[in-house]
Amino acid sequence: MNQPEPRAPVRRHALVLNVDDYEAGRYATSRVLRQAGFEVVDAATGEEALRLVRSEEPDLVLLDVNLPDLDGFEVCRRIKTAPETGTIPVLYLSAAYRTPEHRVQGLDLGADGYLTQPVEPRELVATVNALLRAREVEEAVRASEERFRSLVAATSAIVWTASPEGLIETEQPAWTEFTGQPGDEMLGWGWLACVHPDDHERVRREWANAIAARAQFTAEYRLRRRDGEYRHVGVSAIPLLDGDGGVREWVGMHTDVTARRRAEAWQGLFADVGAALASSLETPSTLPGVAQRVVDALADWCAVDLVEAEGLRRVAQAWSGGGPRTERAAAFDAAFAVERPASAPFQVARTGQPVLVADAAPAQGEMAEALRRAGVRSYLSVALVARGQVVGVLTAAAGDGLPRYTADDAARLEELGGRVALAVDNARLYAEAIHANAAKGEFLAVMSHELRTPLNAIIGYADLLDAGVAGELNDAQREQLSRIRVGSKHLLRLIEEVLQFSRLEAGREEVHREALDLAGLTRDAAALVEPLARGKGLAFRVEVPAEPVRVETDGGKVHQIVLNLLSNAVKFTDGGEVSVSLAARNGHAVLQVRDTGIGIAPENLERIWDAFSQVEQAPTRRVGGTGLGLSVTRNLARLLGGDVVVESAPGRGSAFTLRLPMPAAG
SS3 sequence of 224-258: ECCCCCEEEEEEEEEEEECCCCCEEEEEEEEEECH
pLDDT higher for 561 or 469? Answer: 561
pLDDT digits (tens, 9 = 90+) for 379-412: 999 999 988 899 999 999 988 778 888 899 999 9
Is the distance from CB of 310 to CB of 338 less than 8 angstroms? no
- Predicted confidence band of residue 13 (pLDDT cuts 50, 70, 90): confident
Q: Is the Cα dihedral 420, 422, 423, 428 positive or negative?
A: positive
130 vs 137: CA distance, rounded Å: 11
| Pairing of β 378-386 and β 355-357 | antiparallel
pLDDT higher for 341 or 644? Answer: 644
pLDDT digits (tens, 9 = 90+) for 204-260: 999 999 999 999 999 999 998 888 888 889 999 999 888 788 888 898 888 888 888
Which of helix, strand or coil describes residue 67? coil
Please say if the pLDDT value at position 447 is more than 80.
no
Least confident piece of the model among 175-184, 311-320, 366-375? 366-375
Please say if the pLDDT value at position 515 is more than 50.
yes
pLDDT digits (tens, 9 = 90+) for 170-200: 888 888 888 899 988 888 998 999 999 989 9
Kindly report the CATH class assigned to 514-661. Answer: alpha beta
- Predicted confidence band of residue 539 (pLDDT cuts 50, 70, 90): very high
Q: CA separation (Å) from 66 to 63, 93, 96, 214?
A: 9, 10, 7, 55
Write down the H helix ranges in 507-600: 518-535, 555-571
500 vs 633: CA distance, rounded Å: 10
Q: Which CATH number fits domain 156-256: 3.90.1150.10, 3.40.50.300, 3.30.930.10, 3.30.450.20?
A: 3.30.450.20
For residue 86, count other CB atoms closer than 10 A to its CB: 10
Q: What is the pLDDT of residue 169?
A: 87
Q: Where are the beta strands (DSSP E) in 257-372?
A: 301-308, 311-319, 355-357
Please say if the pLDDT value at position 460 is more than 60.
no
Are 267-435 and 514-661 the same fold in CATH? no
> Quick one: angle between helices 72-81 and 100-108, nearest 10?
20
Q: What CATH number labels 15-150?
A: 3.40.50.2300
Write down the H helix ranges in 435-474: 438-466
Which of helix, strand or coil describes residue 510? coil
524 vs 655: CA distance, rounded Å: 20
Q: What is the pLDDT of residue 530?
A: 93
Residue 288: closest CA among 311, 318, 261, 319: 318
Q: Write the DSSP symbol of residue 128.
A: H
44 vs 67: CA distance, rounded Å: 8
| Pairing of β 550-553 and β 60-63 | unpaired
Residue 553: closest CA among 511, 521, 525, 583: 511
For residue 640, count other CB atoms closer than 10 A to its CB: 20
Q: Any idea where the domains of the chain sit in the sequence?
A: 15-150, 156-256, 267-435, 514-661
385 vs 419: CA distance, rounded Å: 9
Q: What is the pLDDT of residue 526?
A: 93
Is the distance from CB of 224 to CB of 179 less than 8 angstroms? yes
Which of helix, strand or coil describes residue 339? coil
Superfamily of domain 267-435: GAF domain (3.30.450.40)
